[in-house]
Amino acid sequence: MTSEIILDEKQTSGEHFLHSKTVLEFGCTNWIYDHHKAKEEERYQMLDDLHLKAGDVVLDLGCGPGFWTVMLAEKVKPDGKVIGIDLTPEFLSYARENLQKHPLKNMIEFQKGDFYHLPFEDNYFDVVFFGNAFAYVPDRLKLKALEEQKRVTKKTGKVIAKDFDGAVLIYHPIDPHLTLKVLTATAQALNENPPNAFFENFAGRKLPGLFREVGLKNRSTKTYAIQKIPPLTAETKRYITGNATWHANIAVSYLSQEDFQQWHAHFDPTSDQYILDRDDFYSCMLEIITIGTVV
C-alpha cells in the first residue's frame, strides 16, 4: 500500500472492502477518499461543533483509512492524543503510511481491533468518536458496542456518534417521483433481501434512542443537511455518482427497467440527461451527530 491515492474516473461503488468482520458493498479506499473530500468542509464544521479540547485523549473507533483521525488530532493538539481502531489491515496500512509525513504523526496511533472488545482499560479516553459506523452494527449488537465505548470513556467524558440517514436524499433536477421510487425500492430491497454483510441505511435516526437506552447523560443531537451545488469537484462527482449507483443497484429488482435506466442516465456523463454539470444541480443528504456524557 502506498501513500498515493490512485483515483479512477470510472470507478463506482461496486468494489468490496473488509470492515468489522464483514465484507461491505460500498467502495474501497478510493471511494472513502472521495466521500471524505466531498464533505470535508462540513466535517470540519462538525468537529468545530464538538468543542474538543487541547490535550484530550480521543478514540477514533472504526477509523478506516484515518481521515477523521487526523482531523481529530488537529483539534486536540499540541499535547493531545488520538488512537484509531479498525479491524481491516488494508485500512490500517494505508493510514499508517499516510501518517509518516504528517506534522502531527507523534500524536496519532493506529491499532487493530473491533467494536465489541476494545483493547483499553476502563476510563481511558476523554472522547470516543464513532463515525459512520453504526450502519454496520447489527441491532442486536448496537448496545453492546455503545456499552464498550462507555466503558473506556472517563467519567464526565463524551461518547460521540455520527451517522447518516438514507431517507433524505435529494437530487435536482431529477423528478422527485423517480427519486422516491428509488429510495422506496432501496429500503424494500435491504429489508427483504439484506446483503450478506449487515448494512442499515437509516442508522442516524436511532442514535438518540440508543444513547438514552445505554444510560448516557446530557444527551444532545444535531442534524446536518449536507448540500452540494455547482461547481462540483471531481471527488464530489465521483462520490455522488457512486452513491446514486449503489442505490440503483440495490433497488434494481424492485424498479421497472425504465426507472432503472432513467436513474442511471442522470449520472452518466455520456448521456444527454446527465445532471452533475448543470448549473441548477442541487443535492442534499442528512447526517446526524449524537453526544452523551458518561457519569
pLDDT digits 0-9 by tens, 120-174 = 999 999 999 999 999 999 999 999 999 999 999 999 999 999 999 999 999 999 9
In a domain, residue 234? The reply is yes
This model's pTM is above 0.85: yes
Could you give the number of structural domains in the chain?
1
Torsion of CA 135, 137, 139, 145, to 10 degrees: -120
pLDDT band at 196 (very low <50, low <70, confident <90, very high): confident
Please indicate, yes or no, if residue 263 is contained in any of the structural domains.
Answer: yes
Range of the domain at 79: 16-293
pLDDT exceeds 80 at position 278: yes
93 occurs within a structural domain: yes
**For residue 107, is it within any domain?**
yes
Report if residue 224 sits inside a domain: yes
168 occurs within a structural domain: yes
Residue 3 belongs to a domain: no
pLDDT above 50: residue 3: no
CATH number at residue 170: 3.40.50.150
Q: Does residue 11 lie within any of the structural domains? A: no
- Residues 219-244 have a mean pLDDT of 97
The pLDDT value given to residue 134: 95
